Structure formats: structure tokens, C-alpha cells
Structure 1
């Protein structure tokens, strides 16, 4: 059920909804939403009795890691050639803290491109921040859905996907092509280009801009795939941020409407890494001289970092328990916005 807009609380938050639900749950001594969401598997729907809203997401680091772990050197080199080599170094994050992701997304201010924790901690988010986290191409050309006549490689990928009875929009079709044994040094240029196209579709659908649909991606970036030799010229970092900003708007609307289920889309993993990487967490903080940043974040260290910054007061869970790293480190990103003095 969705409460009408005029009946929704004007300042509704995820924490408030979860606190209210926990209070309404008979003989419950814990906040179901907070506890159950914390260790949610990517793509797994969590809906404990009395919890509202439940938080789900189809983002899956597991699928990306599992796939690239099967690549031989030749296939890994093909990924490097298109500028997506950062995807090869991602650690296996078996679970993502979806409550943490939702908390961060609530604090993104799209208009100013900032992550605002409070008046003193306001982090600017720019394309180059995404580049530092994932090492994606950050070229000068914008990615738009329009395209000219599809290239031979695009047509071949569509044909191969259709042969699998799944279609080019299917993530399983992309995965099947990527796992083909006949992609090697003897492969034709069209086959090689198809592999590269399939890889981009796979990582965008599972990690960089996941949607709400199972095994399906809306390919609004065909223009950037039409000439594989030019893929690095496009700004894939801006593309990731654009979809994340849309996801933020969707989340805030869902919370305002008090939807029973809040489905996180967009690359909220970026927000987790970006935020944690900018905090001063002592020995848990990552070394600053390493790119891409995502390769430093394994499951256990992420879990410990989140535990350190988490507090729970009267049912409200906060992840604001640390200060921002000092200036020398933050130059690795684009720096935080200093509060203005009147």
C-alpha cells in the first residue's frame, strides 16, 4: 500500500518508517528493518514481519566478480583495452549493507552534486570521483540513447542474443557471450567487439546502473558502443552519476510516499566507497596512493568500517560517526565543501 502524497508525513525518512514499524511489532525488542537490511544479499528482498519499508536492490558485485574470475589473460586484456580494467580488481563483496546505502542516498543533494551529512561535512561529488573509485573512462563525449545505423558488431551481438532466445537486453545473454570458449586470439574483429559490447552491458546492468528488473537492462548507451575503438572517448563516469541521481530521486519519492518496499537502483556501491574513503577511520582508513579505490575495499574491511561509524539512538540508525579525512588525502578526490561563514 502507498499512502497518498497529501497524507504522507512531510519529513518522512527511512529511519522513521523503520522505527514506527518496530514499535508496532508486538513483543519485538529490535528494529527489524535495520537488522535485516544490514546483511541483505544483493538482489534479495527482505520483508520481516512488521518492517516497513523493506529495502531491496538488484546490484550484484558477486556476479561481476564471479564472471571476471573466469576470464583468462586474453579476455582480461580485452577489458583493459576499452578502459574498464577497474572492474577486474573488484573484491568479492558477498553482501551489501542496503540500509547504509539508503541512508547515504537520502543525503545526496542532486542540485548541488553533494553528499551532505551535516553542515560541517559536505562532500562534493563529481565525475572524477567515480573515475577514482572505478577507473572508468571519463572522456569528453556525452552518452546519449540516440545512435546511427548499428555497427556490424552491434548487429552481431543482437543476432547472437536473439539466438539464445533472450535478446540483447538480457544480462544472461551478455554473460553467455562473455563465457564463450571461442573468444581468443584467432577470433574475428566482430567477435572481439561483441565481447567488449557484452562486457559493458553486463557490468552496467549488474553494477554501474542496475535497474529494478531481473536479468534485464535498458540499453540507453548504444551510441557509445557503436564504435568500440572510441569507447574511451565517452564519459562513463557522468553516465553512472546520472543514473545514481535518478535513483536518489526515486528513493526520496518512495520514502515520502511511505512505500512498503524501497528498491534501490543506481550504483549505490559508489556512494559507500566514496563516503567511507573520505572518513578518518584511523587504522581502518585505506592508503591514499592506490587506484582504483574500489580494489582496496573487501567485505571484512567494509563491514568493520561501517560498524565503527554506526550508532543507534531511539531506533534511529546513523552512519555519521566519523570526521572527514584531513586535506592532504582529500585531494585524491575533489575535496569537500567547506561551510560558509556569514
Structure 2
């Protein structure tokens, strides 16, 4: 009898960048780098009548199992598949144990509530500014009754999105493919014929000049300031960016032009396409802000969906590796309303569109509490 074959050495794990460009930040302006490791392959000796079959969990120091193979020189499909035991990522283990929220709380992580900041802006807008918001195509955002979002619920929702395939998995058997029309139904966003530009190279001369104006008007050392744009949008600053003592209605075309730009900056970063840049407009959103004067002609539904998918995909890479992530991107307001609308409860005013207008803070709080599981995660209803 020949010598026993020694166990094959483990395959070395290699690191690679799984998120190109800007990753999910743990703080404003930070970049992150994640690693991805493949599953251990089933390996075996191809010589002799005995075949060594290595289990995915077998270490190099343990003796591998030996299977008889007298009739053929290959391992049967049955034996091959039954010996593979996929190893769950850290994030998958957290999901399986339903400790997504508790893990986040234990790490002491928190998010700024952008919806609270946006709702305050809406409460300060006079009639002249509200009329302009409707002309821009975003009048539905004026109907938002919520004053804040549960940070734990928003965080859990993001862990349920497969950004790579555009699928949203709720609790139980809830599974939906995400589509741009859903952003129109939920938030009433325009679905114009023109694609929203995402690269500076896609801008024409006029929009490139507007982008330069935005940087000059609202820029600071950290980038384009959402705070400055917010103050101008409500009338606390004039056309030169100076503070004013009294808020007055918009009357000139120049004032209308500036309001459209300022309001677009605010809703992009606070509502439609949040990033992890805090209250600074993400650099990749600058081209989108430049089309504010003709915003109603653009397809914001597709743009916001793609932004959500990109951020959820980057979030998933970090979550799979660490089981917890600091910083959320993408439209949490959309995910929340879409999820609540599809729970197994009595429908709420299905004849009303957009859906965001239906949900009051008390209704949302009550349903979120009813959907909470014992361990703190959601998906009970």
C-alpha cells in the first residue's frame, strides 16, 4: 500500500478592492477599502483508487476523509455537492441571528436625521417658494408629514437591499424588484425624457457654467455647503449670499433662478440621494444640481434608483465583512414608505398618490413598533 497522501495546503486568501471610486465612509470625506475572500474549494487527489475529499471546514492539520472510488476516477456529483459547506460572511451571520440593529446600537453608531432638517426647511417656505417647488416637479415633497425617520429602522432597511441585482427583501417572503416608476409612485418625482447627468463631461456649456456658479456661491473649504443652500432656499440669504434680517417673497427671475439651484442642492443631499458626506453635497451630485433650472424635464426616478443601488451595494460589501457599517447612502424615505405600504396590514388610502403623502408620524411609529421583533430587528408583520 502506498503512502498516505498529505493534505493539500490551504489556498492563500488574497485582497482586492471591491468598491471602486468612493467607498462607504465611516466619517465625512473618508474613503474605505474592503476585502473579499472566496470559499475554500473542494480539493482531492486524482491518483490511485483512494480520493481525498477535503471538507470546507477541515483545517490543514486534520486528517481528510477518505472515500472509495473503485469504479471511476472522479468524485460523484452527489459526493462533491454534499461536502461543500458555504461559510457565511460576518454580515450574513448578523442577519441570520437577527441582531442587525442591536449590533449597530452596541457599536454606538448614529446618523444625522436629514429628514428632520428638510422638514424644518419646508415649514419655513413661503407661498412664492412653494409655488416654485411645484414648478420644479417636486411638489410632492411638500406633502411629507414625517418630521424624522427612525435611524435603526432606516439602517435595517438598507441591509435588506441587494444593490447589485436591484432587489428589495423585506421580512418573511417579501421580495420586490426595484423599478424607477416606484420612485414616482412613492415620492412623486418627475420622470422626464432627459437623463440626469452624473458626470461633468456630460454637461453642456450652460450647465457647466451653472456648476461653476454653484461652487462659487455655496462652496467652502469642504465642498458645496448644504447649510448655505438651505439658508438661501428659505430666504435667510440674498443673491450675494449675505444674511438678511427679513424673509421676503421671491419676485425676480434672478431670485427664482437661485432658489431653484439652492433647493435642488438641499433635496439631493437630504432626501433624494443622501451620501456619507454629512451636510456637504457629494461631488458626484454637482452635475445633477446644475440642471435645477429645468429640473422638470429630467428623469429623477431612474437617477435616484441608481444612486440607491450603488450605495446599497457599497454598504453590503462593508456589512458582509464587518457586520456593521457607519454611514448610510441612498433614499431611506423611499425604502421606508415602500416597505410599510407592502406589509400585511389593512391598506392605507391606496387611491392616494404619491404614497409619501399618506403616512403620518403617528402611523409610521405605530407600524414600525408592531413590526419589531424581540431582538430589535424588524420583519415581524
TM range (shorter): 0.7 to 0.9
Alpha-carbon spacing, 1:79–1:223, altered in 2? closer, same or farther (3 Å): same
Cα deviation, residue 170, structure 1: 0.6
Structural mapping, 1:91-170, within 5 Å = 91-94=145-148, 96-117=149-170, 120-143=173-196, 144-146=198-200, 147-150=203-206, 156-161=213-218, 169-170=224-225
Partner of 2:129: 75
Whether the 8 Å CA contact 2:260–2:293 is kept in 1: the answer is: no
Partner of 1:309: 371
Match of 1:184 among 240, 249, 256: 249
How many aligned residue pairs are there?
289
Structural mapping, 1:13-52, within 5 Å = 13=91, 16=94, 34=101, 51-52=106-107
Alpha-carbon spacing, 1:318–1:185, altered in 2? closer, same or farther (3 Å): closer
Partner of 2:307: 243
Cα deviation, residue 56, structure 1: 3.2
Whether the 8 Å CA contact 2:103–2:324 is kept in 1: the answer is: no
Aligned Cα root-mean-square deviation (Å): 3.3
CA distance in 2 between counterparts of 1:7 and 1:111 reads 18
Cα deviation, residue 191, structure 1: 2.3
CA distance in 1 between counterparts of 2:291 and 2:378 reads 43
CA distance in 1 between counterparts of 2:177 and 2:333 reads 17
Alpha-carbon spacing, 1:154–1:5, altered in 2? closer, same or farther (3 Å): closer
Runs of 4+ in 1 over 6 A off after TM superposition: 1-4, 17-20
Could you report, residue by residue, the CA deviation over 1:11-36 in whole angstroms, capped at 9, with x for unpaired residues? 3237728979xxxxxxxxxx8x7469
Q: Secondary structure at the match of 2:316?
A: helix
TM-score, normalising length: structure 2: 0.66
1:300 matched to 2:362? The reply is yes
Alpha-carbon spacing, 1:235–1:56, altered in 2? closer, same or farther (3 Å): farther
The structure with the larger Rg is 2
Whether the 8 Å CA contact 1:153–1:194 is kept in 2: the answer is: no
Match of 1:257 among 321, 326, 343: 321
1:90 matched to 2:144? The reply is yes
1:210 matched to 2:274? The reply is yes
Whether the 8 Å CA contact 1:138–1:235 is kept in 2: the answer is: yes
CA distance in 1 between counterparts of 2:34 and 2:224 reads 34
Task: Extract unaligned runs of 5+ from structure 1.
Answer: 21-30, 38-45, 323-342
Q: Secondary structure at the match of 1:57?
A: coil
Task: Extract unaligned runs of 5+ from structure 2.
Answer: 1-25, 27-32, 40-86, 239-247
Alpha-carbon spacing, 1:229–1:157, altered in 2? closer, same or farther (3 Å): closer
1:64 matched to 2:118? The reply is yes
Whether the 8 Å CA contact 2:91–2:324 is kept in 1: the answer is: no
Alpha-carbon spacing, 1:192–1:175, altered in 2? closer, same or farther (3 Å): same
TM-score, normalising length: structure 1: 0.72
Cα deviation, residue 233, structure 1: 1.8
